[in-house]
Amino acid sequence: MAIKKFSSKYEAAWSDANQQLLCLDTGTWRTKRPVVNVEKCTYCGLCAIYCPPQCMKIMPDHFEPDLNFCKGCGVCAKECLRGAITMMPEGDFDNEGKKG
Amino acid sequence: MKAKKGELKVITGNSAAAYGAMLCRPDVVASYPITPQTEVVEQLSKFHADGVLEAEMIEVEGENSAMNAVAAATLAGGRAFTATSSWGLVYMYDAVLQAAGFRAPVVMANVNRETPGILAVSSGQQDMIQTRDAGWIQVIVENSQEILDTIIMAFRLAEDYDIQLPVMVNYDGFYISYLAEGVRIPAKDDVDQFLAVLKTQPKRTIMDPTHPIGAGSHGLMTEFMELRYKHCAALDRAKKKFDEIDKDYGDFFGRSYGGQIEEYRTEDADFVILTSGSAVGTSRTVVDAKRAEGVKVGLIKLRMFRPFPQEKLIKAIKGKKAVGVIDRSVNFGWNSGPIYTELRALYPEIGPMPILSFIDGLASIDITKPHIERVIDDVANAAKGKPYQAVTWIPLEERE
């Protein structure tokens, strides 16, 4: 029997860059999340340089992790010279990301 | 409409491969030299220096980079060609698997040579056999003209919207790679016309900066399985497509090779022998001689090795009394020839008959006329119901 119904429209392991298909939602692996203190951030970019999956997003005056991909490794918090990033337990946040 | 006759030149098999690639106007050529393939790279570089080939020539530091470069070039929408052999093919193996999984329509000439661990700078199909499960389309050709023609066909097959798979064109190193013979070289505009059909097809998915996509993304469970299924389905489609392309080529250029397999005097044959590559030419001569003696033997030339031409082989062999397979490589763990073991998988369909394996021609041992006569005699006896030996290492038995 020839199978006709496929979940991917593609022939190979291609995926739209902004689509979840075949992209791992590594954010769900996280037990701690980096929280950036915008006041302390000097916009130096060290966190973005050191972030292994390159998930630090460039905001107008500070950096912010993309929580869809951030695995919570803590490298950014360790490297930040100003101590502007703190790793907070995931349990402190609800689904909307608010601190409980 | 017919193509122009083309210029007749006396060139080696390696040159024929380079001509074939050049005529298809590749955008990228990346290849690392290795005996017996080196002349392909040399000739392509000369074409480039002379301005005949307008490709981006990437001087790579090894075969692994070569395969990654050409696969990436096709993902960017280009046409790309590479050539290798033996240890070179082994050295690019992870990239060979990647190219197939990426469905990158690369065309590669593989000049068959023995592989490690016995050092042998000599002919043998072991390199191709070791790549058979990589998911590529693998074609084996017999002479220089067929190399050139098949490389042109290979681009049309690889880049076809329904296929999108890399194609490996295999020819015997040393025997065909260095042998100079007359080759008709088609005109470039005729080749353009032959390949023009690709431009009328829907556009395949490519890496386009304006519509960014990820290639080689992580495949999870059923998504992974789905892609494997699609890959297998494309390989399956490639069989019929290859026959069609071969026929189109014949109609236009006046040369065709039977598609997946070529049958020679098989129709009224009692039994058949099956082989591939340069041994086919010698086999034809011996079959003719045996026919003159009244022996009803036929010959099957295996052109397409992956995907395996099951349907064609069943049709050609069913009803015969026996079949003998001459392999120029070994199947480790089966202690027999690889094409032989593949053919044995068709046993339920081709019906009860003796299937004999002959291993010959390893490390540039000549597959001679007496060798093939011996094969035909053995298979003839088996066809008559006499006891037979399943696997014969011809040159070793000869020595005893």
Chain segment A26-79, per-residue pLDDT in tens: 888 999 999 999 999 999 999 999 999 888 999 999 999 999 889 999 999 999
Contact A12/B227, CB-based, under 8 Å?
yes
Report CA dihedral (B14, B28, B84, B214) to the nearest 10 degrees.
-150
* Confidence (pLDDT) at B214: 79
Question: Which of B213, B218, B234 is nearest residue A16 as measured by Cβ atoms?
Answer: B213
Mean pLDDT (chain B, rounded): 96
Backbone angles phi, psi at B239, to 5 degrees: -60, -55
User: Would you tell me which residues 8-67 of chain A have a C-beta closer than 8 angstroms to some C-beta of chain B?
Assistant: 8, 10-17, 21-24
pLDDT of residue B78: 97
Mean pLDDT of all residues in B233-237: 98
Q: Which fold has domain B261-399?
A: Rossmann fold (3.40.50)
Res. A15 pLDDT band, cuts 50 70 90: confident
CA-nearest residue of chain A to B99? A12
A2 in reach of chain B (CB within 8 A): yes
Average pLDDT over every residue of B314-330: 98
Reported ipTM: 0.74
Q: B93 pLDDT exceeds 90? A: yes
Contacts of B212 in chain A (CB under 8 A): 17
Instruction: Please tell me the predicted confidence (pLDDT) of residue B359.
Output: 98
- Per-residue CA distances from B361 to B26, B249, B333 (Å): 34, 31, 19
Is this prediction's pTM over 0.95?
A: no
Size of interface A-B (CB pairs under 8 A): 61
pLDDT at B105: 98
- Mutate one of A8, A14, A24 to test the B interface: name it (highest B CB count within 10 A): A14
pLDDT tier for residue B358 given thresholds of 50, 70 and 90: very high
Which amino acid appears at position A30 of this protein? Answer: R
In the block, which residue shows the tokens 């109609």?
B251
Looking at residues B201-218, what average pLDDT do you find? 85
Position A22 pLDDT exceeds 50 = no
Q: Extract the tokens encoding B147.
A: 């190399």
Nearest to B223 among A3, A7, A11 (CB): A7
Cβ distance of A17 and B214 shorter than 8 Å: yes
What single-letter amino acid sits at B350? I
Tell me if A11 and B226 make a contact (CB, 8 A cut-off).
no
> Minimal Cα–Cα distance from B79 to chain A, Å?
18
Band (pLDDT 50/70/90 cuts) for residue A20 is very low
* Tens-place pLDDT, residues B32-85: 999 999 999 999 999 999 999 999 999 999 999 999 999 999 999 999 999 999
Q: State mean pLDDT over A86-94.
A: 92
pLDDT level of residue A19 (50, 70, 90 thresholds): low
pLDDT band at A18 (very low <50, low <70, confident <90, very high): low
Place of tokens 């763990």: B333
pLDDT bin (cut points 50, 70, 90) of residue B196 is very high
* Mean pLDDT of all residues in B355-383: 97
pLDDT at B275 over 50: yes
Percent of chain B with pLDDT over 70: 100
Question: Which of B215, B229, B234 shows the shortest C-beta gap to A13?
Answer: B215
Q: Which domains does chain A have, with CATH numbers?
A: 34-92 (3.30.70.20)
CA distances to B44, B48, B70, B121, B185 from B22, in Å: 7, 9, 15, 27, 11
Q: Give the amino acid at A100.
A: G
Do the chains contact at B214 and A22, CB–CB below 8 Å? yes
Give CA separation, B83 vs B14, B43, B78, B106, B353, in Å: 10, 12, 17, 10, 39
**CATH assignment of B7-253?**
3.40.50.970
Domain with CATH 3.40.50.920 in chain B: 261-399
B→A interface, C-beta within 8 Å: 101-103, 164, 204-205, 212-220, 222-223, 226-227, 229-231, 233-234
Which one of A13, A17, A24 has the shortest CB-CB distance to B227? A13
| CB spacing of B230 vs A22 below 8 angstroms | no
